Amino acid sequence: MKHLLEVNNLSYAYHTLQGETLVLDHVNFSIEQGEFVAIVGPSGCGKSTLLSLICHLLEPDSGEIVLGDHKKTGYMLQKDHLLEWRTTYKNIALGPEIACQSSLDLSQKIDTMLTNYQLDGFRNAKPNQLSGGMRQRAALIRTLMTEPDLLLLDEPFSALDYQTRLSVSDDVWDILKHEKKTALLITHDISEAISMADRIIILSARPATVKKEISVKLSCPGERTPFLSRSSPEFKDYFNLVWKELNHDE
C-alpha cells in the first residue's frame, strides 16, 4: 500500500429510536506519509464521526479504512482532557503508565519534550496553572507519547480565543513538523485550514461526501508557518475558493 491512510467508499449511519441518520455517504480520500491534511465541512456534516471511524471507535456500515502496516493513530480533541489533579509531567506520563512502561528512558523523553516545547518550567505545575496554549501543547505531547503515525486533530483550537489560537496553531505545527508526523485536522475555520494544510478536503452537508480536494501552495518569505501563510499573496484566493465550495450546496 502506498498511502498511509486510505478511506474507500466509507458509509455510516446512526440508528436511534427516531430512525436512521445517514452521516457519511461513500466518502473517499487518502493521505500520504508526512502530509498535513485539513477537512472542512458544515457543522453536523459528520466530521467527528469520520475521525471516530478512522480510529476504530466506530465500525463502518460499508466501505473500508486502510491504515498502513503497523501504523497507529493518535487523537487530540477540542477539550484537552488533562487530569486536574496530576502535574504536567504526570499527565504526559499517563499513557505509558497505563501500558506499564516506566523507565529512565521514558522520563528523559518526557523531559526533552517539555524542554523542546517550552514547558520545562511547568513540569510540576497542575493544569489550572497553565495557559490555554500550554494546556494544548501538553495535551499534544501526551498524545505523541503513544508514538502515533497519524495524528487526528478534531477542532483542537476552537475553544481558544483568537490570539491564542494563532499562536497555538504555530506551536502545534512546529511540534508536528519537528516530530515528522502526518496529521489530519478537522476544522470549521477556513483560514485555519489554509494556513496549516498541504491539502484541504471539503465535505458536503450531511450526509457527507467529498465535494472537492484542493492542494494548497503558498509563497511565504522563508519557511512556511501557519502565521506567515496568512499573509501570503495566494491566501485570499484559496479562501474564496473554499468559501464558494462550502456555500454552494447543489
Ligand X SMILES: Nc1ncnc2c1ncn2[C@@H]1O[C@H](COP(=O)(O)OP(=O)(O)O)[C@@H](O)[C@H]1O
Q: What is the DSSP string of 93-149?
A: THHHHHTT---HHHHHHHHHHHHHTT-GGGTT--GGGS-HHHHHHHHHHHHHTT--S
- Is residue 248 packed enough to be buried (19+ CB in 10 Å), middle (13-18) or exposed (0-12)? exposed
Q: Is the Cβ of residue 28 or residue 48 nearer to Mg ion in the bound state?
A: 48
Secondary structure (3-state) at 223: coil
Q: How far is CA 220 from CA 37, 83, 170, 232, in A?
A: 19, 39, 14, 6
Contact 168, 161 (CB under 8 A): no
One of 33, 48, 158, 167 touching ligand X (CB under 6 A): 48
Of the candidates 8, 30, 33, 48, which one interacts with Mg ion according to CB under 5 A?
Answer: 48
Q: Pick from 10, 12, 25, 49: which binds ligand X (CB under 6 A)?
A: 49
Q: Is 243 in the site for ligand X (CB under 6 A)?
A: no
Binding piece for Mg ion, criterion CB under 5 A, among 47-55, 69-77, 126-134, 160-168? 47-55
> Using the rule CB under 6 A, is 46 a contact of ligand X?
yes
Q: Which does 206 bind (CB under 5 to 8 A by kind): Mg ion, ligand X, none?
A: ligand X
The span of 39-47, 79-87, 170-178, 238-246 binding ligand X (CB under 6 A) equals 39-47
| Minimum separation from the CB atom of position 84 to ligand X (A) | 26
User: What is the nearest approach in angstroms of ligand X to the Cβ of residue 7?
Assistant: 14
Least separation in angstroms between residue 44's CB and Mg ion is 8
Per rule CB under 5 A, is residue 52 in the interface with Mg ion?
no
Asked if residue 20 binds ligand X (CB under 6 A), the reply is no
Copy the grid coordinates of residue 96: 505509558
**164 and 227 in contact (C-beta within 8 Å)?**
no
Q: What is the DSSP letter of 160?
A: S
Residues that bind ligand X (CB under 6 A): 14, 16, 21, 23, 41, 43-49, 206
Residues that bind Mg ion (CB under 5 A): 47-48
